[in-house]
Amino acid sequence: MYVKETRVLPGFGLSLGYTLVYLSLIILIPISAVFIKTFEMTFEEFWSAVASERVVASYKLTFGASLLAAAINVVFGLLLAWGITRYTFPGRKIVDALIDLPFALPTAVAGISLTAIYAKNGWLGQYLEPLGIKIAFGPAGVLVALVFIGLPFVVRTIQPVLEDLDAEYEEAAASLGASRWQAVTRIVIPALLPPLLTGFALAFARAVGEYGSVIFIAGNIPMVSEITPLMIITKLEQYDYRGATAIASVMLVISFLLLLVVNGLQSWSSKRTGRTV
Amino acid sequence: MSAVAIAASPLSGGASRFERNPATRDAGWVKALVLTVGLLFFLIFLLMPLIAVFLEAFRKGADVYFASLIEPDALSAIRLTLIAAAIAVPLNLVFGVSAAWAIAKFNFPGKQFLITLIDLPFSVSPVVAGLIYVLVFGLQGWFGEWLSAHDIKIIFAVPAIVLATVFVTFPFIARELIPLMQAQGRDEEEAAISLGASGLQTFWRVTIPNVKWALLYGVILTNARAMGEFGAVSVVSGHIRGETNTMPLHVEILYNEYQFAAAFAVASLLALLALVTLAVKTYVEWRLAHPTPRETVS
């Protein structure tokens, strides 16, 4: 990896030095505060904060809804990516551009808008509630918000790979007598597996930490529809800084692990597809 | 680099290259099914929330809409949002360019790890991002006693709002620049240096023109995320009306007070900003895919 070389270009020391100092001041040192403060606690104190009944219920909801939302996005994200890259239809460019909306739209805006749609008297809620489908102010609302924010991650990881996938493989399959269904399921989908998994992991990682879009639509009922980031806020509002820090340390460890998984998937993906995603 | 590939799709009218090729062409009913299900999902999950923002904002008429934008608390929230973005964006711009220069133009051990660390704020929950600054600067925090003894307010005041905004928008410019500058290599810069250009001349005349479009999108995206950040800012702001409320926090307060039209009016400004951001992104991707002859040569 590291080859000793004469550097022609100037500014290596300055740019790397500045990068490391800024990274440390803004990101690393403040984050380390969470762990240092956590280690100041006794184990009992830590455990009672992170494993209380209400917090455990929030883990179940956060991880369950995030997994489900990422899975939904993999299915529909694949269909959308497929439609955008492989077909022509009116408005294709607009659809393509708007896929990134959840990435650019502030989460609080998404939150109140989704609530307006799914509340009892809302755009869709007024038709869904008489059918017994209650979305806003319950766990289903959390799921809807997480599906919203996760979609671009899946579409944008599949899209370039689908775009680059050489038609030759499908041509070979067709000339060897494979049906279109066989070509898609045996050639295209396996080739898309790395980006699908990467997109899933990215959407999941984003969903686990999401706060703004969820709290408006969730209803935030204890034991039922409270997400883990909200538990940190609740502890802070009760001036329970140690409890909040303990839960934050759990979430940070999970973030680190997910980041490692995503990195691993991305390098696997770029090896498989010969491109950097 | 994905941006380049997406914009490069040669689908300009008529059938796509996949549809013209019999081996990659799907049956008509498959296309109809994929598009119907996919677009229905798009319509319900993406388009409807966007449209709802604007329709709800004007539900009580244009008078209420504009009145809720010019009332003092809204103006103060807009001002604070602009201040936070005006500080956070240049800070992260300098960082992004500097990190991209170090990572893309030089080899050093631990480079991949550094890239991972730069991505870190992206996977940290915004709530945790706010909390870390409370732990450092809050009354119970590392510098809390010293700060309060010297009467310096960081938490529940503007400095913490700026810090939280810097944290959540930290990776965006670096992430736009690093892959592009890595792909471009350093041949052009090395040629400039060997022809006698200074380091700064090379940077301004060779590197920056080569990445200007990606840089522009990075700045626009950072700005949009800075102005729209909610969770991290919510933790450190203290929600003092007219003082420490940003636009998204003002939206939350109005919403919780059942002033829905006013909440959506302020939200519509942020949604507009998101649309402008997406428009710039689309334009930048088009520019990257269709370089002008001069850009190809340089």
Q: Which residues of A touch B283 (CB under 8 A)?
A: none
First-to-last CA distance in chain A?
21
Task: Over range B59-69, report the average pLDDT.
Answer: 93
Residue A5 pLDDT class (50, 70, 90 cuts): low
Phi, psi of A48, deg, nearest 5: -65, -25
pLDDT digits (tens, 9 = 90+) for B75-104: 999 999 999 999 999 999 999 999 999 999
Q: Are B278 and A98 in contact (CB under 8 A)?
A: yes
Instruction: Enter the CATH code of domain B2-7+60-297.
Output: 1.10.3720.10
In this predicted structure, the answer to whether residue A253 has a pLDDT above a threshold of 50 is yes
Distance from CA of A110 to the nearest CA of B (A): 7
Residue B20 pLDDT class (50, 70, 90 cuts): confident
- Closest partner residue to B98 (CB to CB) among A19, A30, A157 is A19
B-facing residues of A in 40-59 (CB < 8 A) are none
Sketch out chain A's domains with CATH numbers: 45-273 (1.10.3720.10)
Query: What number of other Cβ atoms are within 10 A of residue A89's Cβ?
Result: 14
pLDDT digits (tens, 9 = 90+) for A185-228: 888 888 899 999 999 999 999 999 999 999 999 999 999 999 99
Residue B16 pLDDT class (50, 70, 90 cuts): confident
Residue B7 pLDDT class (50, 70, 90 cuts): very low
Model pLDDT, residue A4: 53
DSSP 8-state assignment for residue B5? H
**Cα atoms in the 13 Å half-sphere on the side-chain side of A98:** 21
pTM summary value: 0.91
Task: Over range B240-269, report the average pLDDT.
Answer: 93
Q: Which residues of B touch A241 (CB under 8 A)?
A: 134-135, 138, 140
Least confident of A58-72, A171-185, B214-228: A171-185
Tell me whether residues A108 and B267 touch, CB distance under 8 A.
yes
In this predicted structure, the answer to whether residue B294 has a pLDDT above a threshold of 80 is no
Model pLDDT, residue A104: 94
Model pLDDT, residue A6: 65
Residue whose entry in the numeric block shows the structure tokens 């990101």: A27
B-facing residues of A in 109-138 (CB < 8 A) are 109-110, 112-114, 116-117, 123-124
First-to-last CA distance in chain B?
19
ipTM: 0.90
In this predicted structure, the answer to whether residue B14 has a pLDDT above a threshold of 90 is no
The ranges assigned to domains in chain B are 2-7+60-297
Least confident of A180-184, B7-11, B75-79, B204-208: B7-11
The share of chain A scoring above pLDDT 70, in percent, equals 96
Distance from CA of B132 to the nearest CA of A (A): 5
Distance from CA of A83 to the nearest CA of B (A): 6
